[in-house]
Structure 1
Amino acid sequence: MELPLWFEIATFVGLTVLLLADLAIVARRPHEPSVKEAGIWVAFYVSLALLFGLVVLAVSNGRYATEFYAGWLTEYSLSVDNLFVFVIIMARFQVPRKLQQEALMIGIIIALVLRGIFILLGAVVIERFVWVFYIFGVFLIYTAINLVRHRGDDEDYEENALIRRMRKVLPISKDYHGAKIRVTENGKKMWTPMVVVILALGTTDLIFALDSIPAIFGLTREPFIVFTANVFALMGLRQLYFLLGGLLKRLVYLSLGLAVILAFIGVKLILEAVHENQLPFAGDREPIESVPHIPIWLSLSIILGVLLIATVASLLKTRGEQPDDDTPAEVERGESPVSTEVTGRPAPTPGTAEETHRS
């Protein structure tokens, strides 16, 4: 049973309304959420994802529902790993903590739009060229090997070409002006560092999608399931950022668990391509029945099991350790000195920034 068209349209409308409402709430009152507030919102979005899977089960069949849960869990776990880099971006650009929520929200919306385009392109390519699964599979295995090799290395953030180009050609003010991205200083229109931060978050997430999108296509070929799994994984990411905070460093085995998951899905993709007997420029061939097919329920079980083991092992390993807070002191106080790497000019003296917040 296929997914009904009315259900897909209603889902897109509902998710759009939810995202716009979330953005409006953040824009009206930029602040740093408390642990309790962040926890409530994370629980809400996780419950919403679980409920959506049940609705998918009700309107279609168990296969689509299981594919959604497997895809959502994979994307969510990869997104948690990405939070490490988000923390580094916030610290590097010295974003005041009360402005970080809005920066994350807008950056995530940009990432969703870019991921949507990426997913549509991927679906078209896979529909016409199943052999691309060989490329996806090898890439995921390569990514898994790199995760293991560099597991103990310090995380670092490297600006992409778009951000480097922006800093060279755009007039950027020295200070943050609340959540505004455009201000007038001495009669001259200028961009604020917030626009660089937002684009850094959005485009960095798109780079992360280079492994997460192929991974979920290894679990389902339904573009609707791929996109909704990504949306539900990213929607609660902003609150999760504030909820976990320094606890992120306690998840010492998360990257190892993700490496196992990516390697497993990479092997699954290659087996799928071999099973369908698809090779570049070889034309259509009869499927090879002797090649094993990994059912989606087994994929979901392995993903759940690996994440559970990695999380429990991490918490046991770091038991008794205090979470670190790497946020610079001036950022914690709400001041906003911006490094010369953002504006191209010396940073102002702490405490001189005049922030104008949205009413």
Structure 2
Amino acid sequence: MELPVWFEISTFVGLTVLLLADLAIVARRPHEPSVREASLWVTFYVSLALLFGVVLLSVTNGDYATQFYAGWLTEYSLSVDNLFVFVIIMARFRVPRKLQQEVLMVGIIIALVLRGIFILAGAELIERFTWVFYLFGAFLVYTAINLVRGEDEDDYEENALIRRLKKVLPMTAEFHGNKLRVPDPDAMNKARGGKSKKLFTPMIVVFLALGTTDLLFALDSIPAIFGLTREAFIVFTANVFALMGLRQLYFLLGGLLKRLVYLSYGLAIILGFIGVKLILEAVHDNSLPFFNDGQPIESVPEIPTWLSLAVILGVLLVVTVASLLKTRGQTPEKDADVADEAAPADRVERPEGN
């Protein structure tokens, strides 16, 4: 059964309006949300995702709804893991607390655009080359092994693009609200009323750091969800619903993230399970000429979506309860707190060699 075109269009329009409204709310009143406010927003977005699955069930069938729930849970759990890195980025760039909502919102929009491109490319690859599931499956198993071995820890390292930008862009040392560029105070004094040179603020680097970092995370999450459904519409909507509540979840969890000590092991199990599922599907629908003479091996079992959903739910429940029991009695740390004091306003970072 195919998804009705009217339903897909209505969903995209509704999600776009919701994202624009969320962005407008953040831009109008930059602030650090309270625990109560963050809890209400997280509850709203989670309820919205659950409701969307019910609507999907009524419009199509139970299989599509199960695929959405499994994909959404997988993307949401991987997004929680991403929050560790977001905390580090905010602290490293010393983003003031009142600006962090807007920074996260713009970073999420960048991530959605980049993931949309990834999803379209992935869907096209799967449509033309079914053997790509072998690659996706092997990559997920490899990622799972690295998570267990601790080689995929959440230590943030600036990528080449960010390092290059910090070297070549004339940049102020402090944030100027949500502005990306501001007049150079030294040039204004020298010009005495003339046209002043403009400098970038650290905000542009933070936006790019969040967006490009999430793009690296997408290398894991996009193949994982394609292991649960081949429907690009479900893949994209699951990503949107997982990312929409991420900003509020960042403020809600805060130091509690440190208590999820077994999360990486749970994600390793989930990614490994989906990786094996992908490989089994690839063998079942085999078309590689050098393997079994290019013939499918239909005797290989396929893992149903309902079983995938049950495994994902079970693993997340076990690792969450085990983590909280392990860290019982620990005081949450304010990892996301960063200093609001800016560096001296007259200090400007110049490109090397100038």
Q: TM-score, normalised by structure 2?
A: 0.92
Distance 2:198 2:223 in 1: 42
TM alignment of 1:38-49, pairs within 5 A: 38-49=38-49
Partner of 1:278: 287
Distance 2:336 2:66 in 1: 39
Task: Please report how far the alpha carbon of residue 185 of structure 1 lies from its aligned counterpart in structure 2 after TM superposition.
Answer: 2.1
CA contact (8 A) 2:183 2:199 kept: yes
1:112-136 superposed Cα distances (whole Å, 9 cap, x missing partner): 0000000000000011111111111
TM alignment of 1:272-351, pairs within 5 A: 272-279=281-288, 285-327=294-336, 331-332=338-339, 334-337=340-343, 343=349
**Which ranges of 4 or more aligned residues in structure 1 deviate by more than 6 Å?**
280-284
Partner of 1:141: 141
Partner of 1:142, secondary structure, is helix
Partner of 1:278, secondary structure, is coil
Which letter does structure 2 place at the counterpart of 1:149? R
Match of 1:235 among 244, 250, 256: 244
Which letter does structure 2 place at the counterpart of 1:183? V
Partner of 2:165: 166
CA contact (8 A) 1:131 1:280 kept: no
CA contact (8 A) 1:275 1:288 kept: yes
Distance 1:336 1:274 in 2: 57
Task: Please report how far the alpha carbon of residue 337 of structure 1 lies from its aligned counterpart in structure 2 after TM superposition.
Answer: 3.4
Partner of 2:130, secondary structure, is coil
CA contact (8 A) 1:99 1:179 kept: yes
Task: Please report how far the alpha carbon of residue 313 of structure 1 lies from its aligned counterpart in structure 2 after TM superposition.
Answer: 0.3
Structure 1 gap segments, 5+ residues each: 346-359
Change (3 A) 1:280 1:131: farther
TM alignment of 1:100-249, pairs within 5 A: 100-150=100-150, 155-186=154-185, 187-249=196-258
CA contact (8 A) 2:255 2:336 kept: no
CA contact (8 A) 1:193 1:343 kept: no
Partner of 1:291, secondary structure, is coil
Distance 1:154 1:298 in 2: 29
Partner of 2:29: 29
Distance 1:11 1:162 in 2: 34
CA contact (8 A) 1:49 1:232 kept: yes
Distance 1:15 1:141 in 2: 33
Alignment size in residue pairs: 338
Task: Please report how far the alpha carbon of residue 286 of structure 1 lies from its aligned counterpart in structure 2 after TM superposition.
Answer: 4.6
Q: TM-score, normalised by structure 1?
A: 0.91
Distance 1:267 1:167 in 2: 41
Distance 1:132 1:281 in 2: 15
Q: CA RMSD in A?
A: 1.9
Distance 1:45 1:166 in 2: 35
Distance 2:211 2:91 in 1: 16
Distance 2:245 2:56 in 1: 20
CA contact (8 A) 1:274 1:291 kept: yes
Distance 1:243 1:229 in 2: 21
Identical counterparts, % of pairs? 78
Partner of 1:67: 67
1:22-43 superposed Cα distances (whole Å, 9 cap, x missing partner): 0011001110000000000000
Partner of 1:7: 7
Structure 2 gap segments, 5+ residues each: 186-195
Distance 1:24 1:280 in 2: 54
Indicate the larger mover: 169-178 or 206-215: 169-178
1:250-300 superposed Cα distances (whole Å, 9 cap, x missing partner): 000010000000000000000000000222688995532210010000000
Task: Please report how far the alpha carbon of residue 2 of structure 1 lies from its aligned counterpart in structure 2 after TM superposition.
Answer: 1.2
